[in-house]
């Protein structure tokens, strides 16, 4: 009897000791990062992203003059299409990643990948079919969306379908401005902005409080191994990039492009350097924003080839 209880006590002590060690390790950031990377390597993003994020469909808007809930320096994504100007606060879309919308009579999808810090907008139709999108998973450290009509997967950064019925297709990109709410409101006084939710979602993004994800701005780790590395800039240097149709992909550090907001929307992409270099491995680093902002990306702009 005493021997049997001794074995049980040893097993209990071993279990408790293991849990204590695991708890101590989990409090260590590199361990948490490694566990998250393993989770994503095993395909966990297919489960986590659809559970954590749901697309925002046909949201309500209010005139910019009535949106006092948003501070002047709140970062927004601005679109102007067929005479309609709308703005979506970055911290709000961060809770959804995908917004399905109709602007100026056209179906539009506005997207944000918080991993790559990349925001892009596309016309949400392909081959005459209107598509609705939902967050699906992560690939190449970038959001992959799924359209609800065919189940095809679409890479957020390129707007191209990577698998499914529409594989090989590409959505047409729409110019998307990114900057301060006060600047957008001054430029579009008759425009509208996403209706305030009167909750923490209006002022706090998910990554602001996540113990791992909140380290993205200052730490070099990535959730997935990149297929292309470019050490000309730190991985998480924020850049403004552009790839005109048939032309040279270019990027400039965002700290050197502070006046981009005064140059018009353009078709530039705001993102981390690692993401731009991943999809445009042959990119040129521009000395200033003039070369980037003055170019326009056509609907057929082609990302750089994937390198392994």
Q: Cβ of 31: how many Cβ atoms within 10 Å? A: 13
> Are the C-beta atoms of 92 and 112 separated by less than 8 Å?
no
User: Looking at residue 296, what is its pLDDT?
Assistant: 41
Packing angle of the helix pair 29-41, 2-26 (nearest 10 deg): 90
User: Looking at residue 292, what is its pLDDT?
Assistant: 46
User: Looking at residue 299, what is its pLDDT?
Assistant: 34
Q: What is the CA radius of gyration of the chain?
A: 22
Give me the phi and psi of 227, to 5 degrees please.
-90, -10
Q: Which of 177, 205, 203 is nearest to 191 (CA)?
A: 177
Q: Map residue 81 onto helix, strand or coil.
A: strand
Q: Map residue 106 onto helix, strand or coil.
A: strand
Distance CA 6, CA 210 (A): 42
User: Looking at residue 223, what is its pLDDT?
Assistant: 80
Distance CA 110, CA 63 (A): 19
User: Looking at residue 7, what is its pLDDT?
Assistant: 64
Query: Distance from first CA to last CA of the chain, Å, rounded?
Result: 61
CA distances from 263 to 254, 258, 282 (A): 14, 10, 25
Q: Please report the sign of the dihedral spanned by the C-alpha atoms of residue 62, residue 67, residue 69, residue 71.
A: positive
Residuewise pLDDT in 10s, the chain (308 residues): 555 556 666 566 666 655 555 554 455 566 666 777 777 777 767 777 887 889 999 899 999 988 888 999 999 999 999 999 999 999 999 999 999 999 999 999 999 999 899 999 999 999 889 999 999 999 999 999 999 999 999 999 999 999 999 999 999 999 999 999 999 999 999 999 999 887 777 777 776 655 555 545 456 778 888 888 899 998 888 899 887 766 788 898 887 765 444 444 446 888 999 999 999 998 988 776 555 445 443 333 334 333 33
> Are the C-beta atoms of 258 and 306 separated by less than 8 Å?
no
User: Looking at residue 194, what is its pLDDT?
Assistant: 93
Q: Within its chain, how far is the Cα of 71 from the centroid?
A: 22
pTM of the model: 0.79
- The per-residue b/e assignment along 208-236, b for 16 or more CB within 10 angstroms, e otherwise, is eeeebeebbeeeeebbbebebebeebebb
The β-bridge relationship of strands 250-253 and 284-285 is: parallel
pLDDT, tens digit (0-9, with 9 covering 90-100), for 115-147: 899 999 999 999 889 999 999 999 999 999 999
User: Looking at residue 263, what is its pLDDT?
Assistant: 44
């Amino acid at each position: 009897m005493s021997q049997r209880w001794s074995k049980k006590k040893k097993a209990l002590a071993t279990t408790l000791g293991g849990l204590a060690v695991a708890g101590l390790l989990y409090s260590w950031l590199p361990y948490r990062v490694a566990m998250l990377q393993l989770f994503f390597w095993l395909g966990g993003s297919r489960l986590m992203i659809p559970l954590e994020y749901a697309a925002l469909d046909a949201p309500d808007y209010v005139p910019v003059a009535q949106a006092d809930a948003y501070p002047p320096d709140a970062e927004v994504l601005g679109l102007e299409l067929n005479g309609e100007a709308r703005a979506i606060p970055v911290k709000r879309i961060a809770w959804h990643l995908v917004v399905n919308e109709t602007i100026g009579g056209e179906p539009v999808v506005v997207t944000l990948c918080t991993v790559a810090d990349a925001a892009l907008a596309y016309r949400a139709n392909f081959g005459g079919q209107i598509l609705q999108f939902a967050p699906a998973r992560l690939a190449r450290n970038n959001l992959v969306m799924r359209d609800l009509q065919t189940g095809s997967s679409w890479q957020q950064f390129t707007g191209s379908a990577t698998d499914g019925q529409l594989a090989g297709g590409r959505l047409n990109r729409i110019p998307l401005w990114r900057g301060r709410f006060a600047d957008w409101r001054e430029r579009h006084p008759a425009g509208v902005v996403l209706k305030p939710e009167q909750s923490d979602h209006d002022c706090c993004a998910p990554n602001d409080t996540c113990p791992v994800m909140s380290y993205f701005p200052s730490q070099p780790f990535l959730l997935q191994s990149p297929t292309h590395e470019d050490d000309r800039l730190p991985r998480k240097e924020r850049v403004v990039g552009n790839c005109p149709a048939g032309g040279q992909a270019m990027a400039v550090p965002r700290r050197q492009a502070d006046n981009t907001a005064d140059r018009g929307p353009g078709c530039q992409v705001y993102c981390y350097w690692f993401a731009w270099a991943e999809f445009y491995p042959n990119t040129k680093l521009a000395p200033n924003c003039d070369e980037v902002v003055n170019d326009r990306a056509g609907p057929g702009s082609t990302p750089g080839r994937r390198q392994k």
